[in-house]
Structure 1
Amino acid sequence: MGNKDVTIYDVAARAGVSISTVSNVLNKPLRVNAATRARVLAIIDELGFVPRDAAISRARKGIGRIGVIAPFTSYESFRRRLVGVLQEASERGSEVVVWDEASAAATTSPVMSSLPVKHRLDGLLIMGLPVDNTLVDRLITTGLPTVLVDTRHPRLSSVTVDDDLGGYLVARHLLGRGHQHITAVREKQVSDQYVSQAQRRFAGIERALAEAGLPSSHLEQATAPGTDVSAGRAALAELWASGRRPTAFFGHSDALAAGIVAELRASGIDAVPGVAVIGYDDGPLAEAIDMTSVYQPLEESGRLATRMLYARIASHQPVQETVLKPEVVVRAT
């Protein structure tokens, strides 16, 4: 049984640390080095101090709690990033709280100005969602360590994949196969309040076209009614209905590109020499249907961002931007 007369002040005095250090040991153990945490826990046992059960359990495990916010149900790529986060967190014994947000492309107010965070967190990862200055001020003022993934802000650390380079590689691949006109299929972007991944990839395509002496009009953009395979099929069916017959397709995601491949195959057009399709993300779907795709180090980006977050939880760190490189994986399409 614990001694209810012993207070946190008694623990701090016996351990030779501040009250805030004892509080961090119990509530934010990742902020305290292992030796100090062990000493404080030993004093807690010696004096019979009775903190909240959940707090002492977390402290003994040396774990903390991090939050992850992303449009998980909109894009497979963020689920894969989350795999990397969970792997890293598991190795450190941390708890992970996950929130799903609407896709930035599908909302008229894509910039995050508030957070649905009600749980006590030691750190936060925001994936694929632009943030505004008001939110950044709040995060910094409250001292919540935060790392962005797949988006940037000059006052927060981030891990991104070079989308401009990805688009450039798409165009170089298709140009190398003899195509001079590229049809890019993407979901509709409702708001112009931010620059999306698709826009950066298209800028890369235009750069490659310009280097080849071709105008930007050689990039045609088609809008899909969603982000899944059926949306890719619908987008291509609409192209056919309009009388257009492009032969080089770029799907903004593997799912959209797979829908294009499925519709081509259903129409018997994929057997025509010279038709090319390339997706983006290079996930299991691309491999399963033998589709050329742009590889993104998604799981790696999740792990790197989580490591960066833990470093910021442990001590103050300067703002750091890590940019990873994509690459084309050539398959049958």
Structure 2
Amino acid sequence: MSVSIEDVAKRAEVSTATVSRALRGLPKVSPATRERVLAVAAELGYVPSPSATGLATGRTKTVGVLMPFVDRWYFGHALEGVDQELRSRGYNLLLLSLGGYLHGNKRRFTEQMVRKQIDGLVVLCMGLSQSELEELAKTQMPVVAVGGPIEGCVGVHIDDFAAATAATTHLIDLGHRKIAHLRGGVKDEINFVVPGLRAEGFAATMRSAGLELRPEFSVAGDFTAAQGAAAAGRIFDLPGEKPTAVFCGSDEMALGLMFEARRRGIRIPEDLSVVGIDNHDFSVLAGLTTIAQDPVEHGRQAAAILLDAVEGKPEAITQKYMPFQLLKRESTARLPS
């Protein structure tokens, strides 16, 4: 006959929750009680099961991941990192997709969506409305944001302002003065702060260098290659002077711009230098100069922070800025004198 957690609790004269906490090394168990529980468990040959642990602690051994899209490069890679860390520590993943950047009654996160289903939540690359933040607070569970800052949440992400500064500085250092910016679209900026941070980094760097910010050189895409190509077309069709370089707010938009440039016979980098952000899988094949980040590692780090908090480790929830790196490839070159 197998030994249950109730058997251990009865022999050790503690609750089943205390048995679970003691066996899992969680806080709020005195050293003497922990030692007694461990001794009884060893004596009885008790092996905790995931279901018994969940019943005793109220845990589900499941973490939710809230995301607006599942088919974008950063989202998919960050999700893979979260899943890797969860599996390595015996947790399951529950995907909660909100169906893109929608508003009002069309998209709303509620506490009922996750009640008693998950132990913590990873929020991927999206902003939450005030009502959604209030619903999130009701869950009373650990929350970690990935990909950019979210009000009231600890996050794992790069410094997007600094990344945009590095990309723009690279173009300026190559002698470019007429620099365009292919930025995120209106929906991106409403729903998430990262596009705005990258735009601010670009603008601040241009102003610091004493360079003109030309409104017609700032064109919106939506972080996809298709919209990057469409936005590039609007830049290429401008009358008069053309930019000699473009800073793109994502690699996917930069790749779209490069496709459109090739279609029109615009040579890169001879006629136009291009730099992006991400280090998308296709960037190295395209020779795209970019600011590299590692979304898989972002996801792993976020999941690790979250699980440490779920498991009661002190000071587990901490903000984490991840490294980024300028990778110089064939899409940028010094402006001919």
Tell me: CA distance 1:236–1:152, structure 2 relative to 1, closer, same or farther (3 Å). closer
Is the CA contact (8 Å cut-off) linking 1:233 and 1:256 kept in structure 2?
yes
Out of 188, 202, 205, which is 1:205 matched to? 202
Contact residue 183 and residue 249 of structure 1 kept, 8 A: yes
Correspondence for 1:329 among 315, 327, 330: 327
Shift of 1:41: 6.8
Q: How does 1:98-247 map to 2 (within 5 A)?
A: 98-103=95-100, 106-108=101-103, 113-114=109-110, 116-117=113-114, 120-132=117-129, 134-153=131-150, 155-190=152-187, 196-217=193-214, 220-224=217-221, 226-243=222-239, 245-247=242-244
**C-alpha deviation, 1:137, in angstroms:** 4.8
Match of 1:14 among 7, 11, 15: 11
| C-alpha distance 306-66 of structure 1, shift in aligned 2 (>3 A) | same
**Which SS does the other structure have where 2:180 is aligned?**
strand
Which one-letter code corresponds to 2:10 in the other structure? A
CA contact 1:261–1:270 (8 Å) conserved in 2: no
* Identity level (%): 24
Aligned residue among 59, 78, 81 for 1:81:
78
Q: CA RMSD in A?
A: 3.8
Structure 1: how far apart are the matches of 2:20 and 2:135? 22
Amino acid of the residue matched to residue 319 of structure 2? E
**Structure 1: gaps (5+ residues):** none
Q: Report Cα offsets for 1:216-269 as digits up to 9, x if no partner.
A: 337832123x43322222222233344363331222221111111111112221
- In structure 2, what is the equivalent of residue 317 of structure 1? 315
Amino acid across the alignment from 2:140: G
Code of the aligned partner of 1:229: A
**Which residue of 282, 289, 292 corresponds with 2:289?**
292
Superposition TM-score, scaled by structure 1 size: 0.79
The change in CA–CA distance for 1:255 and 1:44 in structure 2 (over 3 A counts) is farther
Deviations, residues 114-150 of structure 1 (Å, cap 9, x unaligned): 2533562122111112235554454444431211112
Letter aligned with residue 66 of structure 1: V
Q: Aligned partners of 2:268, 2:212: CA distance in 1, in Å?
A: 29
Q: After the TM superposition, which of the residue ranges 191-200 and 204-213 deviates more from structure 2?
A: 191-200
CA distance in 2, matches of 1:198, 1:63: 35
Partners of 1:79 and 1:92 in 2: CA distance: 20
Number of residue pairs the alignment of both structures matches: 319
**Partners of 2:229 and 2:44 in 1: CA distance:** 63
